[in-house]
Amino acid sequence: MKKLFEYIGRYFILMGKVFSKPEKRTIYWQRILVEMQALGLSSIGIVAIISVFMGAVITIQMALNFESPFIPQYLIGYAARESMLLEFSSTIVALILAGKVGSNIASEIGTMRITEQIDALEIMGVNSASYLILPKIISTVIFFPFLTTLSMGIGIAGGYVLCILTGAVNPDAYITGIRYDFKPFYITYSLIKSSVFAFVITSISGFFGYYANGNSLEVGRASTQAVVISSIAILIFNLILTQLLLM
Amino acid sequence: MIRADHIIKSFDGRIVLNDITAEFTPGITNLIIGQSGSGKTVLLKSLVGLHKIDSGNIFYNDICFNTLPFAQMKAIRKEVGMLFQGGALLDSSNVEENVRLPLDLFTNMPMDEKRDRVNFCLKRVNLGNVNHLYPAELSGGMIKRVAIARAIVLNPKYLFCDEPNSGLDPMTSVLIDNLIQEITQEYNITTIINTHDMNSVMEIGEHIIFIYKGEKWWEGTKHDILHTDNQELNDFVFASAMAKRAKAAEQQ
Ligand SMILES: Nc1ncnc2c1ncn2[C@@H]1O[C@H](COP(=O)(O)OP(=O)(O)O)[C@@H](O)[C@H]1O
Ligand SMILES: [Mg+2]
């Protein structure tokens, strides 16, 4: 328990360093663009693949659950859309990105720590925490909502493709369903979550990487911890944000 | 000039540096020697402020470095170049970007001028046509040389080298040693070099401090080191075949 508080304390001290005033802004802009490419653009593929399959699977499951003459078919499309919008495209996608992006960040920064690259930056008078972590935070906080939006579109499209291919649901009913009782705020809610999750993943993974020490085993451990702890943090923040925004 | 005044450093209650006092003058190569684990790296990192010392003082000229507020410490660090044991080049940047980084951060030079300066420093360490290679594509000796180029790009007043020739073949080691010595004399830099390599000691040991189990055990030059009656130093020195031969040759 004492250890937990120690971790949290050190996390906030590190965030203090990360968000202190940068020495030269132009350098940061370049780094943000590089990180957008490395952490954001490169994740489009995996997000698209997962979303299309999940959209299809959710539609099948809804079709099975709603198999009754008393329930109109369009509700299947409606339920699939709500699942994607509310939960899947933000939370599940974030959990997957915690695995991909989180381990990437923790192992990259951890390796920099044990090979003295961070010391080298410090000697040059660079605020290494800010130089390494801030561009990653900014680029993911901006980019993850795009990934979430993309996931919503592709997931719903995946459900539609399934309707056409298998005929499990009437495609016209599905279209009616996904347009039924649409609440734009659900999208806002999802995008807010996605940005918060981006911050959680990047800052926690950066933290574990930054304080790695020793050898490659420690970097491996830091990377695992980064994924596990950011996943748990995502679930906790999901609960808190849902309570705050939807209740 | 850098002066360490009774510095003590411990990790979790275990004392690693015990009451070290030493003075390092500019223009000559100051060596810190000792076995692996004796505390050389910790001493070097304490001198540049990467480790916080428990007690004692560190002076850069007449400024007490270890008590400076962070902003002023940073100002001094701009005059410090450091060569890390593994080179510590940024993996995600190529050679030119690595050497240019200090210029990007701390000067307002136009790009052309920065390029010229980078090429000048690379040439100074005898490297050409490597500007667009990444650290992963370089050999150990080239990495060390790029790291030296990066360390001198801002014309440092102080240069710290942690085992500059560990992992290098004997010929490249001598080249690197001589290079550091030349640069030191040329720009009158205060240079401190960690090493456990007797070849370096005999080559460039103008001022030598021997660290034994975290304590300063002996101080002198490469001329005295073969004639000391300090037992631990003798064990260290004559563990190397090279030193044995040098002594034998002298006695003939
Ligand atoms: N960050 C650290 N935390 C705890 N102990 C350390 C740390 N760095 C070095 N030490 C210990 O300090 C001692 C001296 O290490 P070091 O200065 O690296 O030796 P060397 O002379 O080989 O460079 C070693 O016993 C090492 O275990
Ligand atoms: Mg060492």
The domain tally of chain B equals: 1
Q: Which pLDDT belongs to residue A205?
A: 98
Taking an 8 Å cut-off on Cβ atoms, the answer to whether A115 and B102 are in contact is: no
Query: Taking the model in full, what pTM does it have?
Result: 0.89
Pocket of ligand 1 (CB under 6 A): B 11, 16, 34, 36-42
Reduced 3-state DSSP string for A98-140: HHHHHHHHHHHHHHHHHCCHHHHHHHCCCCHHHHHHHHHHHHH
φ, ψ of residue B79 to 5 degrees: the values are -100, 5
Return residues 28-87 of A near B (CB < 8 Å).
34
What whole-number distance in Å separates Cα of residue B219 and Cα of residue B22?
Answer: 9
The alpha-carbon radius of gyration of chain B (Å, integer) is: 19
Taking an 8 Å cut-off on Cβ atoms, the answer to whether B91 and A125 are in contact is: no
pLDDT at A2 over 90: no
The alpha-carbon radius of gyration of chain A (Å, integer) is: 21
Report chain A's mean pLDDT, rounded to a whole number. 93
pLDDT, tens digit only, all 252 positions of chain B:
999 999 999 999 999 999 999 999 999 999 999 999 999 999 999 999 999 999 999 999 989 999 998 888 888 888 999 999 989 999 999 999 999 999 988 888 999 999 999 999 999 888 989 999 999 999 988 999 999 999 999 999 999 999 998 888 888 889 889 999 999 999 999 999 999 999 999 999 999 999 999 999 999 999 999 888 889 998 998 887 777 787 788 777
Q: Which pLDDT belongs to residue A94?
A: 96
**Residue of B17, B2, B31, B1 lying closest to B163 (CA atoms):** B31
The ipTM is 0.88
**Residue of A126, A127, A147 lying closest to A201 (CA atoms):** A147
In angstroms, what separates the C-alpha of B35 from chain A's closest C-alpha? 20
Q: Does residue B233 fall inside a structural domain? A: no
Lowest mean pLDDT among A14-18, A107-111, B39-43, B162-166: B162-166
> Which residue from A minimizes the CA distance to B72?
A125
Q: Does residue B234 fall inside a structural domain? A: no
Q: Which residues on chain B are in Cβ contact (under 8 Å) with A121?
A: 90
Q: Does residue B76 fall inside a structural domain? A: yes
Q: Does residue B241 fall inside a structural domain? A: no
What whole-number distance in Å separates Cα of residue B144 and Cα of residue B128?
Answer: 14
Q: Does residue B124 fall inside a structural domain? A: yes
Q: Which domain holds residue B103?
A: 2-222
Mean pLDDT for A193-221 is 95
Q: Which pLDDT belongs to residue B156?
A: 93
**Which atom of ligand 1 is nearest to B38's Cα?**
21
Whether B200 contacts B11, CB under 8 Å: no
| Alpha carbon of B76 to ligand 2 centroid (Å) | 24
CATH code at B167?
3.40.50.300
Q: Which pLDDT belongs to residue B194?
A: 96
Q: Does residue B146 fall inside a structural domain? A: yes
Every domain of chain A and the residues it spans? 24-246
Highest mean pLDDT among A107-111, A165-169, B150-154: A107-111
Angle at B119 between CA B115 and CA B122, to 5 degrees: 140
Using the structure block, give the residue that is written with the tokens 């078919």: A73
